Amino acid sequence: MPAIEAITEYLKGFSSSGEEQISIFGDEGKATTVEKHVTADFSIPLFINEFWTARQRQSSSIHEISYRACFKPQLPRFFIELLTDPGDVVYDPFAGRGTTPVEAALLGRRVISNDINPLSRILAEPRLSIPALEQISSRLSKIPLQGQVSRDFDLSMFYHPQTEKELLSLREYLINKSKSGTEDEVDRWIRMVATNRLTGHSKGFFSVYTMPPNQAVSAERQIKINSKLNQKPGYREVHSIILKKSKQLLRNLSGAQVNNLCRASADAVFLEKESSQTEEIPSESVALTVTSPPFLDVVQYSGDNWLRAWFNDINMKEIEQNITMASNLQEWSAVMNKVFEELYRVTMPGGWVAFEVGEVKGGRVNLDEAVIPLGKAAGFNCAGVIINKQEFTKTSNIWGVKNNKSGTNSNRIVLFNKEFA
């Protein structure tokens, strides 16, 4: 495991072209800018550069699952390649769509994934146990296209009547398989893909044109969208869309990557717990945590995921009561304090935590400044804040940069290390 001093020197010498030494940059890339951010409580270096951008190789197609407020695969890849070796354990306590565990598995690492929202496991776990396309096609052919299934509420503003019948039949099939304990990896894959295709803005989704797939609108809002666009739902064949999306997800996976995913699935751990209460994870077992926690009250999980929750028979209102949705920094910090204590317990000596945060409240709150004392209080050393530069013009303004109105697009990663005893 690299020492904190070695990582600091690497970050100082990093260039956007991938070179490691400033002396050989030439015109190939930009050197890292290093600044000091000083408060009354700490002085921390800021490393500013294009650490992961479009310059880097394309991410795997297996990541193309939409989810609100997720980061790009290049972010965890940067830290996984820098701070771990094949076979090391990589963890995400707020896994979301599973970007960190899936990327870690692709790179030959072992994975632990946790998210109190059960949709996370539904979207992440199947991508470590990939069935053959022939298996997916064969299974779909055995699922009735329509049956005597009553609907819970009106979905006609989203779906053509025949599409709705097919969707209801698939939902009933998957719920019955899950309740009977007979759901296998092929069923889980179909569930994952179908969950991702429920609504969207192209013919690759089951619904009529609506919001992007990571944010389902209400039925009332969809009626207004239909009226404004003078549209009505056309027929979309559920099984063919699932098979087409499956092909897209698998299109650029290499044989080695498929093998890595399969090996990772053998002992992968998927939890649905509070991130401060993960006793299933052995102490000092995690080499690297890469995560991005919920940011105060920016994202409304039940509102965004109501249709996905319905399809998977999940009571999202109950789940959201346990999701960190603090309305102010003090409440949020109190929750994260317990999370950092648990992260310190599970992190191995010499291990790392890359904690991605963003601006909230229109840039008036910088979570970096709250996170650093929390990590230090738990026992970690802070190596600095890594800022993935995008279109900034003045590095002196980097700490308070505003990328958009909500301010959650700015990649700002606080990097912590646990010392050897």
Predicted confidence at residue 317, as pLDDT, reads: 72
The parts of the chain modelled with pLDDT lower than 50 are: 19-27, 55, 392-409
DSSP 17: T
pLDDT digits (tens, 9 = 90+) for 52-102: 865 455 689 999 998 776 788 999 999 999 999 999 999 999 999 999 999
First to last CA, the chain: 14
pTM above 0.85, yes or no: yes
CA distance 294 to 74: 20
User: Is residue 274 helix, strand or coil?
Assistant: coil
- Residue 8 class from Cβ within 10 Å (0-12 exposed, 13-18 middle, 19+ buried)? middle
d(CA 303, CA 391): 32
- Give the chain's domains with CATH numbers: 1-51 (no CATH), 59-130+253-321 (3.40.50.150), 133-249 (no CATH)
**381: which 2 tokens?**
């050393």
pLDDT attached to residue 297: 61
Q: What pLDDT was estimated at residue 363?
A: 58
So what's the pLDDT on residue 103? Answer: 97
pLDDT (0 to 100) of residue 395: 38
Tens digits of per-residue pLDDT, 189-242? 999 999 999 999 899 999 999 987 667 889 999 999 999 999 999 999 999 999
3-state secondary structure of 203: coil
| Selection from 80, 82, 99, 81 nearest residue 90 by Cα | 80
Angle (CA) 15 17 19, round 5°: 60
User: Torsion angle, CA of 340/341/345/351, rounded to 10 degrees?
Assistant: 30
